[in-house]
Amino acid sequence: MTTLFDPLTVRGVTLRNRIGMSPMCQYSADEGRATDWHLLHLGSRAAGGAGLIVVEATAVTAAGRISPGDAGLWNDEQIPSWRRVTEIIKQNGAVPAVQLAHAGRKASTARPWDGSGSLADADGGWETIAPTAVAGSEKLWRIPREMTSADIEATQQAFCDAAVRALEAGFAWLEIHGAHGYLHNSFLSPLTNQREDEYGGSLENRMRFTLDTAVKMRQITPDDVPLTIRLSATEWHDDGWTLDDSVVLSQRLKAVGVDLIDCSSSPMPGGQRPTFEQGWQVPLAERIKKEAGILTAAVGGIRDPHFAESVVAEGRADLVLLGRELLADPYWPYHTAVALEQDLDDVLPTQYSYWLKRYEL
């Protein structure tokens, strides 16, 4: 028996296995709306056997997009396009999740294959906002406007409004994007938050924006729908956000109704350079799971079936999320099931499992 293919129930949602697809930006939306690309990209990973499909960073405001090609749920007109996506994911046995996001000072950029740098107004760029009016880097040169109390309240409301739209679109699992230097992460990190009001300075203050947002989202989210968050569990920098901080925040998030921490990280300039080997971020999920007493998802170059099985079987995390490996192989869950001698009926649609079980290929 394997553990990786055991179901996982979170609130009223049951995943068929412990394998999920990480949210990966495709920069291929049409004014925030899903396109045929999303149907192909997300539907094929559901058919390939993943239990959870997390749709890419989906902007809660137009100004919160990373690029003009970002997914969005900032208006009702975007709902029908995402309903098509959730339906095809469900039809293929997976649970559709969405990562609701605001890019903060990393907004208004070109798509990665167009350079990723800040877009000038003349090139279609827009005003950005952040906790502090400091540019992201030489490449991300646009200086954001420091958020006022009114901006903070409006942005939190935008997360709630987008959550309502996501539920109407058929998403069954909500994730807040709190990682990778985007808005929530930039409030948390002392490297990027230089505020002197109740949202800056102490750890308690820097956690306030994210905790308050989680409270408001939990209040409008049905009891049977999981609410999760992706954190940069550490910035790998002595002066930055640390794993110790993440344990504290995770405890607080659990107390207000967050169900799972999706554990990533953000190496920052001037800090440590981690070794990017398979499972390099799994220890982050393991520590948060054990010390905060909350479900966790592990990420970080996971590709070997037996390694993935060990992460879950040893209780280091409750599920594994794959990114590039699922881009390269949408049927990684199927190949993993074969390697772990799992019944294919529990993994693939009947249209595939019947033939693959009947004949040796």
Give catalytic residue positions. 182
Residues in contact with 358: Cβ distance below 8 Å, sequence separation at least 6, in sequence order: none
Question: What percentage of the chain's residues is helix, strand, coil (to nearest 5)?
Answer: 40, 15, 45
Q: How far apart are the first and last CA of the chain?
A: 23
Supply angle C-alpha 344, 175, 206, rounded to 5.
Answer: 145
Whole-number Å distance between alpha carbons of 205 and 219: 21
Which neighbouring-strand residues pair with 1? none
Whole-number Å distance between alpha carbons of 285 and 76: 35
* Residue 299 near residue 263 (C-beta atoms within 8 A): yes
Whole-number Å distance between alpha carbons of 209 and 205: 8
Count CA within 13 A, CB hemisphere, residue 172.
Answer: 20
* Residue 21 near residue 56 (C-beta atoms within 8 A): no
Q: Sign of the CA dihedral 103, 35, 260, 170?
A: positive
* Residue 38 near residue 28 (C-beta atoms within 8 A): yes
CA nearest neighbour of 247 among 286, 288, 208, 206: 288
How far are the Cα atoms of 89, 335, 340 from residue 343, in angstroms, in the given order? 21, 12, 9
Whole-number Å distance between alpha carbons of 234 and 355: 45
Q: CA torsion, points 199, 201, 204, 207, in degrees to nearest 10?
A: 50
* Residue 349 near residue 93 (C-beta atoms within 8 A): yes
